[in-house]
Amino acid sequence: MAKSKPRGLKWRSSTLFIVSTVGIGLFTDLFLYGLVVPILPFILQERVHLPDDRIQSHVSGLLAAYAGASVLSSPPAGVLADRLPTRQLPFLVGLTALLLATLLLFLGQNVAVLTVARILQGISGAVVWTIGFALLLDTVGPGNLGKTIGSIFGFISIGELAAPVLGGVVYKSAGYAGVFGLGFAIIAVDFIMRILIIEKKTAAKYEGEDGEASNGGASQPEQDGEDGHEETEEDPLIRKEESQEYKIPPDLPRVVRSFPILYCLKDPRLLTALLLAFVQATLLAAFDATIPTVAEEYYNFDSLKSGLLFIPLVLPYLLLGPIAGWAVDRYGPKPAAVIGFGYLVPVLILLRLVQSGGKSQIIVYCALLALCGLGLGIIGSPSIVEASYVVDMYEKSNPDLFGPNGPYAQLYALNSMVFSSGLTIGPLVSGALKDAMGYGNMNLVVAALCLLTAILSVIYVGGKPAMLKKRRG
């Protein structure tokens, strides 16, 4: 080869380092997203001087600003990921937006500046999640996507756990300088890793066909089965019966041929997979928006104690993420989706028991949050794995339609957009419902949404059940 190899080519292009870099990127995004969640009510009171009756609406609005920006930024991020020869450049651009956002949050003294900061965070989040998932698939292939995402979600849940807790602790002891100093330090680590990363397809140009680095591209890891997941006895029969369903006709509008992922949206499996992402994000955002205000209103908690309330909610994520992801790879997304959302229905209804009071009521609230955390851990990976399976079948039935980079960046942009829509709607609706009908009734509405999602998962996730197919035939 004429080109000299970069230093550390082998470890910089290794699966472990690439997955770790994506994990750190997602961790940083979630950490800085959640860093101000428990202290937002206090920021708006102490620095912006808003009256108490406007705090909940502005907390929800600032959370929604992040998600709304992410919704609008996700499609361009997906297009860029498909058009650019490397995923590293947009990955770095996203981190630059995050750095600027963090500076504005640090310096902001009014609602307008804080809103701009959250918008920039949303843009960064869209890039990180879209490019990050596409890079993961390039590296590990669809067959290992579930357990990889499950493991990463287990790790990045530390970000969700640590951010509210540390945000409350550090804000109380060291003020803004301490909170955002911690944020800047994490951004620095993230930046170094993103600079060092060498994608497998780039490493292959140096290594040729030899060495670990040559296993580049999304196609190499797909060795377990044609779908990129472990072959089962049912798969060949399913493909023979349903392969024609994934054929995309040639006489389509130009916009659909330019973005063929749009045609895939007619598939109820893909739509249901996206619904899982939407409801998952709505749940997370509802907890983020209401836990700090409930803590202050019911128990007169300060920022430190409000942050500590996130521990029982997020800790099960860390424990269940890899296990649930392995189960999704092993048994498919349907069991996790049905069990996870079905389990959340009674647990969310039980949140109606939460009342203001002393130590006993706080214990009840923490116990119920921990039960909710178990459900959130189960529903972490079914959505993206199911969506990847469906789109993978479309690509294999139409090999020349999606281009050399495949449909996955477009898919993850779509998933990011839907997930961000949930983050947008979640705080707005939950905050409005909490103010209008109380915290318990708000959770009753969310439980009904989970019930609907569980029913649709039974019908569509992983394909229709055999009983429904036989009845149809």
The pLDDT score that the predictor gives to residue 473 is 46
- Reply yes or no on whether the pLDDT at 243 is more than 80: no
φ/ψ region of 308 (left if φ > 0, alpha if ψ in -120 to 50, else beta) reads alpha
Q: What is the dihedral of CA 273, 276, 281, 282, to 10 degrees?
A: 130
Residue 348 CA, chain-centre distance (Å), reads: 21
Instruction: Using alpha carbons, list the distances in angstroms from residue 382 to 155, 200, 334, 387, 390.
Output: 17, 26, 7, 8, 12
CA distance 34 to 30: 6
pTM comes to 0.76
Q: How many other CB atoms are there within 10 angstroms of residue 458's CB atom? A: 17
| Mean pLDDT score of the chain | 80
- Reply yes or no on whether the pLDDT at 2 is more than 60: no
Q: Decide which of 318 and 125 is more confident.
A: 125
Q: What's the whole-number mean pLDDT along residues 153-168? A: 67
pLDDT in tens, 353-409: 888 878 888 999 999 999 998 998 899 889 988 998 888 888 888 877 776 667 777
- Homologous superfamily in CATH for domain 9-201+241-467: MFS general substrate transporter like domains (1.20.1250.20)
Q: Decide which of 253 and 458 is more confident.
A: 458
Token representation of residue 384: 């993206």
The pLDDT score that the predictor gives to residue 350 is 94
Query: Residue 400, SS3?
Result: coil
- Reply yes or no on whether the pLDDT at 225 is more than 50: no
Is 46 buried (19+), middle (13-18) or exposed (0-12) by CB count in 10 A? Answer: exposed
CA distance 216 to 126: 25
CA distance 464 to 53: 48
- Structure confidence at residue 145 as a pLDDT band (50, 70, 90): low
Please, which residues have CB within 8 angstroms of residue 26's CB and are 6 or more apart in sequence?
128, 129, 132, 152, 156, 159
- Reply yes or no on whether the pLDDT at 157 is more than 80: no
CA distance 466 to 234: 11
Question: Where are the domains positioned within the chain?
Answer: 9-201+241-467
- Structure confidence at residue 338 as a pLDDT band (50, 70, 90): very high
Q: What's the whole-number mean pLDDT along residues 137-165? A: 69
Token representation of residue 165: 């807790």
- Structure confidence at residue 207 as a pLDDT band (50, 70, 90): low
- Reply yes or no on whether the pLDDT at 297 is more than 70: yes
pLDDT in tens, 408-436: 777 888 888 888 788 778 878 888 898 88
- Reply yes or no on whether the pLDDT at 209 is more than 50: no
- Structure confidence at residue 232 as a pLDDT band (50, 70, 90): very low
Please, which residues have CB within 8 angstroms of residue 213's CB and are 6 or more apart in sequence?
9, 10, 13, 14, 198, 200, 203, 204, 206, 207
Longest dimension (CA), the chain: 73
CA distance 11 to 198: 9
The pLDDT score that the predictor gives to residue 423 is 75
Which residue type occupies 173?
Answer: S
CA distance 341 to 351: 16
